Structure 1
């Protein structure tokens, strides 16, 4: 059996209406064998069968096309209707009714939408049946047209599914490549930044030191980009961002350190801190500080340059809340809808630094901790990004039992 015929068999098998069509044909005509057949120049192949006759031909069964009346239909494209073959003027001496021992027979052609011949819907029985001039022929011809539509629809769906699977495989391969590339870039970047730090400390010439500081800043920026790419790849590949939940008694100090580092990058801006005592907090310290760094950098880049940025952190009613608030133009609804999606950019096309992954990664960190990100934005109140983390959802891992 050819690959094309095998594919046609699979297509017909996936069309749920086919068994019902054959059932209706048998019940309406009184004939006990009905089939959908794929007919080529040499082969008649059963794609679907309803056999209450014991004819002995199942799905995938093949006949020599030349021995069937469907072979004639393939050439004429005309329906054949026989009430009683032994008394039919045209078919009483035809070898096919004698070979397959039938008296009543009906077969209608099935075409593809491009006009090419697919096969037939046919039915037969050893007993005569009153078919000529009845509603049987137009009914079966309607079924043939319906089957044409179903075949084309199913094939289109299969092509779409195959294309989607291919694209998903390519996308996964691309993201794996990005992850490997980002991982392999970390070592040379570490060497660059470590070397630049050493040069900044040792160079006495102001011009040379300025160049070294520029190399150091660029290396650190590249390191941040690689980290974002790796986090993005982990999230998209289905593993999600990994967190290491541990007791974090110095989280408030770590958050202040993040704000201090960004204050040095933006010396002209005012950053106000409202950080409570966070002792007793359990979280992934590095990830929470990364989240704050992303939110604070976002506020400094997009907020009103003449207004302060407020950072707050507190624990109330067993919920840890970390917020970053800035004044400035409110976030448009269209932007708000995709705010935490990767590579999101302002719709006005304004050039931006970075990859557009900061808020996406912040949201992934929140989700990994069992928390969520919230944002409210208005012209009057400004924009507030908040991490809300119920403390009952995060706990350090249980210590391993002592071995005897």
Structure 2
């Protein structure tokens, strides 16, 4: 019965079925028409046009043995009757006596795979001329059309079901990543805190070097976990969470980020140009995270002998935070993919990270109501800019 219920729903979704039954009745003069799902042991109305008061509704069932559709199920041949009371085959047929029809036509509906679906049938207590007219080939055409529509609708349903299942699995995977990342943060914090304490207290230089290495690896792992968590939040629809407030110490926070990365890369030069940006309303931790990702990207992909410039200032209508590096320009075909997750710039050198840095920077910019911009050329280098429009109050204050 589950399959029959599914078939009922399939026919209900095919918009052409009511029009088909209407055309059959108007063309043949018969006042009852239906699409029936017929199996070995059931006859179920999938669609009905009843101008007779026959009383059969969609989902209604008849004793399959009492119908002529049972014979069509076995023979797969069309039955056409003009006047049953004078027909040598059907005049005394129990189906004719039970349902008291004179004119009757029923054509089989065969699925694309060759299996039997059911019939399109029509009948009337009054006789009608059906044999040798256009009614039979017309209904045969409707049966073929219905078969195609059933196959198409079922294909759409299978695709939608597969899509829903894939979305559900994707959500489970992303929830798993989020939970795993969240549970990793506490032990990583303990590792980095312990390594930092050891690096300060150990007297042996070799031991201090090991502790510093543990500290560096722990911070790197913590950074990866943070990226994974932010990615999972974005993919799950929650987006990057913000804590917006006035930030009087934003300049110091940005300088601190640059100095931390400078300590990690002592052989590189990071040059700062940070103007008066006090009072900007933003999420300080997220903006510093954005800057950290941009500087890390510049250090990784820029000229190893060239400096990295960091500039932050308030323009008349926007706060602009930019990072520029020299080196090979980004290929034009890659520009449109830079802010996609797991995207890496083409390089022969080993690359660290998951390819989420620029994606998360862009998500932070979007969460603030701002945008990320990028330009790259051999002459001017590569410039990434976070642009945050100022509110009228902020613009007037600046």
**Which TM-score tier does this pair reach, normalised by the shorter chain?**
over 0.9
Q: Which residue of 2 aligns with 1:284?
A: 283
Give 1:350 shift: 5.6
Comparing 214-223 with 80-89, greater Cα deviation is found at 80-89
Give 1:168 shift: 1.1
Q: Which residue of 1 aligns with 2:295?
A: 296
C-alpha distance 102-394 of structure 1, shift in aligned 2 (>3 A): farther
C-alpha distance 88-118 of structure 1, shift in aligned 2 (>3 A): same
Q: Which residue of 1 aligns with 2:91?
A: 92
Q: Which residue of 2 aligns with 1:392?
A: 391
TM-score by length of 1: 0.94
CA distance in 2, matches of 1:190, 1:237: 25
Which secondary structure does the structure 2 equivalent of 1:109 belong to? strand
Task: Say yes or no: does 1:257 pair with 2:252.
Answer: no
Contact in 2 for aligned 1:341/1:360 (Cα 8 Å): yes
Q: Which residue of 1 aligns with 2:69?
A: 70
Which 5+ residue runs of structure 2 have no aligned equivalent? none
Cα-Cα RMSD: 1.6
Aligned residues between the structures: 394
Q: Which residue of 1 aligns with 2:226?
A: 227
Task: Say yes or no: does 1:346 pair with 2:349.
Answer: no
CA distance in 2, matches of 1:177, 1:361: 19
Q: Which residue of 2 aligns with 1:323?
A: 322
Task: Say yes or no: does 1:33 pair with 2:46.
Answer: no
C-alpha distance after superposition, 1:308-363 (max 9, x if no partner): 22211111123111111122222234432222121112356764211111111111
Which runs of 4 or more aligned residues in structure 1 lie more than 3 Å from their structure 2 counterparts after TM superposition? 346-351
Q: Which residue of 2 aligns with 1:398?
A: none
TM-score by length of 2: 0.95
Task: Say yes or no: does 1:161 pair with 2:156.
Answer: no
Task: Say yes or no: does 1:106 pair with 2:108.
Answer: no
Q: How does 1:4-403 map to 2 (within 5 A)?
A: 4-346=3-345, 351-392=350-391
Comparing 90-99 with 7-16, greater Cα deviation is found at 90-99
Which secondary structure does the structure 2 equivalent of 1:320 belong to? strand
CA distance in 2, matches of 1:306, 1:87: 103
CA distance in 2, matches of 1:49, 1:209: 85
Give 1:394 shift: 10
C-alpha distance 223-25 of structure 1, shift in aligned 2 (>3 A): same
CA distance in 2, matches of 1:111, 1:349: 59
Which 5+ residue runs of structure 1 have no aligned equivalent? 396-404
